Structure 1
Amino acid sequence: MSVLVLRNIAVAGRHQAPCVNGAVFVQRRHDSSATNLAALKRGRGGRSSFSGIVATVFGASGFVGSYVVNKLGKIGSQVIIPYRGDPYDVAPLKLCGDLGQILFLPYELRNEESVRQAMQYSNVVVNLIGREYETKNYKLNDVNVEGSRRIARLARECGVSRLIHFSALNASLNPQIIYMKQGSQYLITKAKGELAVKEEFPDATIFRPADIYGQEDRFLRYYSNYWRRSTSNSLGLWKKGRQTIKQPVFVSDVAAGVVAAIRDPSTAGKTFEIVGPHRYYLCDIIDYIYKLMRYEDFKITNVSPLLKLTATVMGMMPNYPRFNMEKVEAEHVTDVVTGLPNLEDLGVELTRLEDRADYELKPYRLYAYYEDKLGEFPKPNPPEKVLGL
């Protein structure tokens, strides 16, 4: 199914409506059968088929976004990828789909016309845009609240039938307080973003993911990073990680959940808690990570004043402040599951942390180029599961 054919079909079901300033923009009719692209399904469901899904994926250049695009491309969907910055950052995603099925469009989150152009021919929008730290150009509220509201509103105006919005598992207007007086602003703005999306697009499907691990993640690699641990072969955690429980989820499972939600009309308007199959104490996860990386005599300590100072100073850096006090605050908030639907309700078979962590951490392993003998480095026991919570 070529881009030109889809464009002509979409335009056939559209009419012009005046804007407030007197300009004219094209608006899709919700009740027109000509806009039902799902009726144009062709093929057996593989890469060279057309699934009927024309999806705009905001945040496709991020960690989870590339997996979502890949899953959509595999079933023959047409994917529009809005991007900002260098086009070479998103160019590899062209391989995720068949010829002509992965399209790119430069945009700016504050420019409504560019956002509208990115979704005007789509029947599905996936919003993966999120900000864990502030920069001089974008504050947390600008992205997590106002940006989410803008995408939801414009998706509704464009007649998009399905919106998948990514929030955070522990998003709350009153999050657990660890070090910061008002709690994690990231979690607060994520909660406000949910409310904004629901206000603008009531049928939006909300995904609340826990910590996601996989290739190029910000969970396993975050804790194995040099800046997170100290030079004394130790890592500082709030109350030594014994009061924090995490339920990490594998990134491929998250992407499979997105596709399953898109294909199931009954998920519209629902909120899903995207978590892994098991819960662990944070200290047990960290201990397991460093045993896999072959760090001997590694120990877990309390968060030291030096670590707080390092996080504060790095948070002032304008370019890439991934390690800051906001991150330290949010990482120690216990994952709370309230009984909402999850990935298993979407038919996704969950992957255990111990089945993937060894492979994911292989590049960070000590003696990585040493040809060890059989059994020389025994495989560590997986972290103990937390039951009854």
Structure 2
Amino acid sequence: MKIERICILGGSGFVGTRLVSQLAARGLEVRVLSRRREMAKELILLPTVEVVEANVHDQPELIQHFRGMDAVINLVGILHESKIGRIDLPSARRGDFQKVHVELPRKVIHACGQSGVQRLLHMSALGADPNSRSAYQRSKGIAEALVREAAMRHSQHENWYLNGPKFIRGYDLNVTLFRPSVIFGRGDSFLSMFSRLLRMSPVLPLASAGSRFAPVHVEDVARAFADSLDNPATYGQTYELCGPNTYTLQELVAYVGEVIGKPRGIIPLGKWASYFQAWAMEFKPGRKLMTRDNYYALCTDNVCRGGWPPVFDFQPASLEAIAPEYLRADTPRARYEDYRENARR
């Protein structure tokens, strides 16, 4: 089946903006569903892109916007819940992660069936596990199971009830899942965060300093999604996406310090000190840097079990080839110039 029209959820986000740009450059028609149209201003200018204000959690709206599409891509995800409850109790972990990572994919699957969409690409994450102690990883793991089950049941041409009306008999849903390691690039929320912390403090106490990552460039993640769309070899597959090199968290933070010219003392924290630092940071007002759920996620290394998937005929960029350019520019003056450029002033 030739893919020409794609609907993207999360198209105005960090990965989404790159993916939409790549798809538009290939001449494909893209519909981006966004809470607020102004959040996707740079995408509106692309000739084959339509930005539509929509509530992606409203299933009738999803069905309406999926009609006429050849494929749907779900990139929606969050790193923190807005309200921190008793995360030591599994039964209490049913907040924003449940809504965004579990209930939304369920609605997307159902809307695909009702609107006749036969191709679904879904963003998961390394470490996704329905049995994880981390609510983030657990919700991602449950979503993976939902997507795989949907594909399996559809491929067997069964009628399947999912919170309502039955799916179309004989309807095929070809799915591909992606599990990236931490994603880096201009505007990321990982390396850039440490860049700002290192500029402010001469010493940095670091929780879970030994956790391992294989950072992957945002453009490479977007290209993997784009290349998978109409490739039957990717149907039913799950791809782990990692960069070419592996680092501990301490090595990454030290590297950021060297790049920005702010080498700092890093104090690796032990298990319990890491936990209590995460617990204390939950109560920090404003944007959260770390929570206990993040700590639980960091207990699992964020690295791939194999190399770059051979189905993609390109090699991922290294951190060292990309990060210095945007990390060195992450200064108040440089950010001001970025704002001016985005505002076309």
| TM-score normalised by length of structure 2 | 0.79
Amino acid at match of 2:228: A
CA distance in 1, matches of 2:251, 2:331: 18
Q: Work out which of the residue numbers 289, 294, 305 in structure 2 matches 1:338.
A: 305
Q: Work out which of the residue numbers 17, 23, 30 in structure 2 matches 1:66.
A: 17
Q: Which residue of 2 aligns with 1:224?
A: 195
Q: Say if 1:260 and 1:347, in contact at 8 Å, map to a contact too.
A: no
Instruction: Say if 2:214 is the partner of 1:214.
Output: no
- Pairwise CA RMSD: 2.6
Q: Say if 1:247 and 1:277, in contact at 8 Å, map to a contact too.
A: yes
Q: Say if 1:152 and 1:201, in contact at 8 Å, map to a contact too.
A: no
- Structure 2 spans left out of the alignment, 5+ residues: 84-93, 153-173, 335-345
Q: Which residue of 1 aligns with 2:322?
A: 356
CA distance in 1, matches of 2:5, 2:12: 18
In the TM superposition, 1:114-129 aligns within 5 A as 114-129=61-76
CA distance change for structure 1 residues 312 and 277 in 2, over 3 Å: closer, same or farther? same
Q: Say if 2:122 and 2:175, in contact at 8 Å, map to a contact too.
A: yes
Q: Which residue of 2 aligns with 1:105?
A: 52
Q: Say if 1:156 and 1:200, in contact at 8 Å, map to a contact too.
A: no
SS at match of 2:220: helix
Q: Which residue of 1 aligns with 2:261?
A: 294
Q: Say if 2:214 and 2:304, in contact at 8 Å, map to a contact too.
A: no
Q: Which residue of 2 aligns with 1:269?
A: 236
Report the CA distance between 1:301 and its aligned residue: 2.6
Amino acid at match of 1:108: N
Q: Deviations over 1:83-141 (max 9, x none)?
A: 11x3211121123x32xx21122221331111112211110111001122223696111
Report the CA distance between 1:298 and its aligned residue: 2.6
Report the CA distance between 1:311 and its aligned residue: 1.4
Amino acid at match of 1:325: R
Amino acid at match of 1:197: V
Q: Which moved more, 1:68-77 or 1:278-287?
A: 278-287
CA distance change for structure 1 residues 289 and 235 in 2, over 3 Å: closer, same or farther? farther
Q: Deviations over 1:144-187 (max 9, x none)?
A: 01111110221132221211000001111233xxxxxxx21100
What is the aligned-residue identity percentage? 25
**Higher helix share goes to which structure?**
2
In the TM superposition, 1:44-63 aligns within 5 A as 52-63=3-14
Amino acid at match of 1:274: L
Q: Which residue of 1 aligns with 2:27?
A: 76
CA distance change for structure 1 residues 62 and 205 in 2, over 3 Å: closer, same or farther? same
Report the CA distance between 1:343 and its aligned residue: 4.1
SS at match of 1:56: strand
- Structure 1 spans left out of the alignment, 5+ residues: 1-35, 39-51, 176-182, 369-389
Instruction: Say if 2:151 is the partner of 1:151.
Output: no
Amino acid at match of 1:65: G
CA distance in 2, matches of 1:229, 1:293: 8
CA distance in 1, matches of 2:118, 2:109: 11
SS at match of 1:215: coil
